[in-house]
Amino acid sequence: MREYILEKVNSNPKFLNLNGVEIEVNDELPEGFDIRKILSTIEKRIPSHFFTNLNKIRIENDEEFRKRGINALYRDNEFIISPKQKNANDLIDDIVHEFAHHVETLFTEDIYSDERTKNEFLKKRQEMKFEIQSEGYWVEDYDFDELKFDEKFDTFLYSRLGRNMLRMITTGLFIRPYGSVSLREYFATGFEAYYLGKQNSLEKISPMLFDKIDELNTKNRY
């Protein structure tokens, strides 16, 4: 009976947490997902000081996912993660990626005040512009010095260029093509790479970004 009760407790979403942060499962993940093992993997990789002020992680469908073609978002100190995941690694990727956006709110000055990360990003954007021009595309309608996400620019990259061309152009410039869409996503994709086993590649491709995340990794001012 004791084992039965423990099994029920362990499988009940009400008892799920990640380093003390409540996990609210409102829509079920695909069959076969070991959510506790997934959470344990993340907890071992993410430093405890990155959990500061994180209120909750919710696994549920959200209208924004359909509108924007995304699987996760960061809103009001909460992660909202889509239950539509291909496998455990996809779920881990999404949660770690949203941690990056949370860490931005905790350490904004530390990340961006010296402008090293920004300048590295802008240099890569100009190299990217040159490569796109070399492929025969018209680029004068787009501001490659814009740091924020721009829907028009995003559409150009993913619809006009297409994923295959974008991947070819950004290889060696960005750790992932999505890191090219804005400064925030440049940081987030680098953060994701750092904590998901691609530190060597990140250091080679984006040394300034690597150094910044490496500093944050051991920083605990709380």
74-83 pLDDT tens trace: 999 999 999 9
**Are 63 and 54 in contact, with CB atoms under 8 Å apart?**
no
Contact present, 24 and 62 (Cβ < 8 Å)? no
Q: What is the DSSP letter of 178?
A: G
Segment 197-204 shows an average pLDDT of 97
Give the per-residue pLDDT at 21: 95
Q: What fold does the segment set 2-106 form as a domain? A: Hect, E3 ligase catalytic fold (3.30.2410)
| 95-107 pLDDT tens trace | 999 999 999 999 9
Q: What is the dihedral of CA 74, 79, 85, 91, to 10 degrees?
A: 110
Please name which of 121, 118, 94 lies closest in space to residue 108, comparing C-alpha atoms. 118
What is the percentage of the chain residues whose pLDDT exceeds 70?
A: 92
Res. 2 pLDDT band, cuts 50 70 90: very low
Q: Confidence class of residue 153 from pLDDT cuts 50, 70 and 90?
A: very high
Residues 187-197: pLDDT tens digits?
999 999 999 99
Q: Is 162 left (phi over 0), alpha (psi -120 to 50) or beta?
A: left
Question: For position 14, what pLDDT does the model report?
Answer: 53
- pLDDT above 50 (res 5): no
**Alpha-carbon span 166 to 183, nearest angstrom:** 17
How much is the pLDDT for 66? 85
The yes-or-no verdict on residue 89 having pLDDT over 70 is yes
Average pLDDT across the chain, whole number: 91
| pTM check: above 0.95 | no
- Contacts of 132 by beta carbon, 8 Å cutoff, 6+ apart: 139, 161, 169
Domain ranges in the chain are: 2-106, 110-218
Q: Under a CB-based contact definition with an 8 Å cutoff, are residues 136 and 201 in contact?
A: no
Alpha helices in 14-162 (DSSP H): 35-45, 63-68, 88-106, 108-112, 116-134, 151-155
Percent residues over pLDDT 90 in the chain:
86
**Contact assessment for residue 72 and residue 80, using Cβ atoms and an 8 Å cutoff:** yes
Residue pair 141/155 in contact by the 8 Å Cβ criterion: no
